[in-house]
Structure 1
Amino acid sequence: MLKKLLFVFLFFFCSVSYSQIGGKYTYQFLNLITSPRQAALGGKTITIYDDDVNQAHFNPATINADMDNHLALNYGSYFKEVTYGTASYAYTYDRHLQTFQAGVNYVNYGNFDGYDENGQATSSFSGSEIALSLGYSYNIPNTDIHIGANAKLISSNLESYSSLGGAIDIGALFIDERNDVNWGLVIRNIGTQFTTYSGTNEKLPLEIIAGVSQELENVPIRWHLTLENLQQWNIAFSNPVRAENSIDGNTDEEKISFVNNALRHVIFGAELFPKKAFNLRVGYNFRRAEELKILEQRNFSGVSLGFGLKLNKLKFNYSYSRYTLAGNTSLFGLTINFQE
C-alpha cells in the first residue's frame, strides 16, 4: 500500500511541471552535496540508515540513535575559487524522544573585483551564504516507517545585498528488514524569504527526491538508486553546440528524447563493504554526465569515486567527482564518535 501511495504522489508532481531547473531560485547552495560519502555515491542519496550523521542533511527521517554523540566535519573546494563546508552533530536525549540533529552548511564565494558601467575599477567585494538546521525523526509505533523534518534558518550576503530566509525538509523512510531494502521520499527546501535582496521575493529551490537501496545477501555491496528533481519532468535543455545545420541554412536544435530526459533524473551508486572499517564507493550522475559531456571526446563527466576509513573513534571520508576536463571537485570529511 505504501509503495502505491508513493507512486501516485510522485506521478502527480512529475506530471504538473515541465520547466527546466537552474537559474530560477535563490539559495541554490542548499542543494550542494555536502559529504564525501554522498558525493562518492553520485549525490542526494536518501536511504542510508546507519551512524552517518551527514545523512540528516538530505533526509531527516534517517536520523537515529546510532548517530548519538557523533560529530561530522566536511570541507571542499568547488572549482578552486569557491569553498564550502558543513558540520553535523546528533544527540539522543532519551529513547522516547528519539534523536535530534543540528547542522550548519556554509559556502564562501571568494573575492571579486568590482567595476562600474564604464569599466572603471571600484572596490572589491565578496559573497557568502550559511544555513543553520535542526532535525528530528520519529519511528511510527509498530511500523517500519520513519518520518522526520529539518528546520533551516538561511542567511545570504552577496556584495552589498543580503537576504534572510527559512525552510523545512520533510522526509520518510520505509525499512524492509526482511529483504534489506530501504525506500525513501523527501521534499526539500519548502520555505520563503523573510527579507529580500532588493524588494523582489524569490522562490527557494524546492525539490522532491525518491530513492531505494538494498544490501545484497551474498555480496558485500549495497546499491543505491535515486530519482532527483521529481517536482518537474522536463529538466533537459538543448545544447547549442550540438545543433545541426540543415541544407537550407537553418539550424535544427538538439532534440531531447523521452528516455534521455528520464535518465537525467537518475543517480546510481554502490558501496563495497558498507559495514566494514574500510569502504569503497562509486557513483554515476546521469544529468551531470549528459550536460557536461563534450562532443567526440570522452571525459567521464558524472563519475564519482571515494572511500571511507575508520580508525577507532575517527572515520575519514574522501570523494572525487568528475565534472569536466578542467574542473573537478574533492571533498574531505571527518567523523568523530564521542560515544566510544
Structure 2
Amino acid sequence: MLCRVITFSFLLCVALAMASGEAFAQYTRRAFEFVNLPATARTAGLGGVNITQGYGRPGAAMENPALLAPRAAGHLSANYMGLVAGIRQGTAGYAVLRADSGVWHVSVRYLDYGDFEGYDPAGQPTGTFQASDYAVTAAYSHQSGPFRAGLALSLLRSSIAGEGATGLALDIGGVFQHPEQDLTAGLVFRNAGVIISDYSGADSRMPFDVQAGLSFRPAFMPFRFSITAHNLLVDNLVYVESEGERPPFTESIFRRLVFGTQIGLGKSVILRAGYNHLLRKELRLEQAGGGAGFAYGIEVRAGLFTLAYSHLGYHAAGGGDHISLTANMQTLAGKLF
C-alpha cells in the first residue's frame, strides 16, 4: 500500500511540474518563493538548505517530510526569523503519532514584509499597504526498513495591497539511514503544484525543485558533515551579461551545492556552520562580499526544551537571525496535569 501511495505521489509531482512549466525551466517567474527560506534555526545554521539532518525533529518535516519520525510525536516547534528592513517570518508545527497510520505533522508559516507607503502614477500618496505570505501544511511519513518516505500538502497564499495569489503544493521525500553507519541520504521533490489564483496580469510558476543530500559522521569523530544539492532541474543559475558567454562548468555545479557541518559538545550543546555558494555569488557586493552565504549557529538542550540560534548571511548589509524553540509538550503536560 505504501509503495502505491509513493509511486502515485511521485507521478503526480512530475505531472504537476510539467503542467506548470517548471521542469527544466529558467530560475524566473516563480511565485511563493518564501517557502524556500529556511524554516528552522538548524537549517539556517547549516547553510539554508538541508534535507538529511534533524531526523525525528518536528521542525525538520518542513524541509523534508521523510525526516518526520515517531520520536517527534508530542513535540511543538516554534521558529522566528528576522531579516533586513523589518521583514519577519514565523513558523510553528506539532507532530502526532498514530499507531495505525504513521506520523502526522501540521505546521503554519507566516512571512510579514511590514508596511509600505503607496503612491499613484502622479506621485501622490495613497496611504500605507501591507504584504505578507503564509502556508498551512499537513505532512505524513511512514517507515519501511531503512527507508522512510513522507508526503506534505501545503496551501499557499501571497498578498500585497489587496491583490493576492493562491497555490497548492505537494512535497514528496525519502531518506535512507544506513543500518550500521551514521549515514543518511535523502531525496525531495518540493513544491510541485498548481496556481489556483494569480495576481492580475501575472503568469507565475510554482517554485518546483528537486533536492538531494547526504549527511554522515565519520567513526570516532564528533563532527557530522552534510552536502545538499538543490535547483537540480534549473538549466542555468549563472547570470551572464552578453549572449554566448558561458559560465565555468565548476561555477554552475557549485551554485547548486550547500555545505554544512555540526559538532556536538557533550549531550547538551551543538555548534553549526554552513556555506551556500549561490547566496554568496548572487547577493554579494562587487567590492565586498561581507558574510553573504556563510552561516553559523548554536543549539542548547535543557530537559524538555531545546533552544537554537543561527545567523545566515544574505548581504553585506546583514542577514537572517533565526531562533527556534522545541518543547516536549506531551511529557510536559503529563508533569503539569
Question: Same fold per TM (> 0.5)?
Answer: yes
Tell me whether 1:116 sits opposite 2:109 in the alignment. Answer: no
Residue of structure 1 equivalent to 2:143: 139
1:312 aligned residue: 303
1:20 touches 1:236 (CA, 8 Å); kept in 2?
no
In structure 1, what is the equivalent of residue 205 of structure 2?
203
- Output aligned runs, 1:1-340, within 5 Å: 19-21=25-27, 23-94=28-99, 96-140=100-144, 143-198=145-200, 200=202, 202-238=204-240, 256-273=247-264, 276-297=267-288, 299-340=290-331
What is the deviation of 1:322?
A: 1.6
Match of 2:4 in 1: none
8 Å contact kept, 1:210–1:227:
yes
| Preserved contact between residue 163 and residue 193 of structure 1 (Cα < 8 Å) | yes
Distance 1:87 1:275 in 2: 28
Distance 1:50 1:192 in 2: 29
For the 8 Å contact 2:107–2:138, the answer to whether it is kept is yes
Answer with 175-184 or 205-214: which moved more: 175-184
Closer/same/farther in 2, CA of residues 17 and 193 from structure 1, 3 Å limit:
closer
Query: What's the CA shift string for 1:118-167, capped at 9, x where partnerless?
Result: 11111211011111000001112xx3111110011112221111222211
**Structure 1: which 5+ runs fail to align?**
1-12, 241-250
SS of residue paired to 1:231? coil
Compute the displacement of 1:97 (Å).
1.7
CA distance in 2, matches of 1:222, 1:319: 17
Q: 1 CA distance for matches of 2:226 and 2:98? A: 31
Give the TM-score of the pair, scaled to structure 1. 0.86
Alignment partner, residue 248 of structure 1:
none
CA distance in 2, matches of 1:178, 1:148: 23
Gaps (5+ residues) in structure 2?
Answer: 1-16, 332-337
The answer to which of 55-64 and 284-293 deviates more is 284-293
Question: Residues 131 and 72 (structure 1 numbering): CA distance in 2 closer, same or farther, change over 3 Å?
Answer: same
Deviation at 1:293, TM superposition (A): 3.1
Q: 1:87 to 1:274 in 2, by over 3 A?
A: farther
CA positional deviation for 1:19:
5.0
In the alignment, the residues of structure 2 paired with residue 322 and residue 62 of structure 1 have an alpha-carbon distance, to the nearest angstrom, of 26
CA contact (8 A) 1:69 1:337 kept: yes
Shift of 1:264: 0.2
Contact 1:50–1:66 (CA under 8 A) maintained in structure 2: no
1:317 & 1:128 partners in 2: Cα distance? 25
Equivalent-residue separation in structure 1 for 2:287 and 2:133 (angstroms): 38
What is the one-letter code of the residue matched to 1:334? L
Please report how far the alpha carbon of residue 36 of structure 1 lies from its aligned counterpart in structure 2 after TM superposition: 0.5
Normalised by the size of structure 2, how large is the TM-score?
0.87
Aligned residues: 312
SS in 2 for 1:66: helix
d(CA) in 1 for partners of 2:258, 2:269: 23
Residues 94 and 107 in structure 2, CA contact (< 8 A), matched pair in contact too = yes
**What is the deviation of 1:44?**
1.9
Q: Deviations over 1:231-262 (max 9, x none)?
A: 12311113x6xxxxxxxxxx899752010111
Deviation at 1:103, TM superposition (A): 0.3
Query: Per the alignment, do residues 24 and 201 of structure 1 end up closer, same or farther by CA in structure 2, a change over 3 Å counting?
Result: closer
Q: 1:329 and 1:20 mapped to 2: Cα distance?
A: 26
Contact 1:303-1:321 within 8 A present in 2 as well: yes
Look up the SS of the partner of 1:123 in the other structure: strand
Residue 274 of structure 1: how far off its partner (Å): 8.1
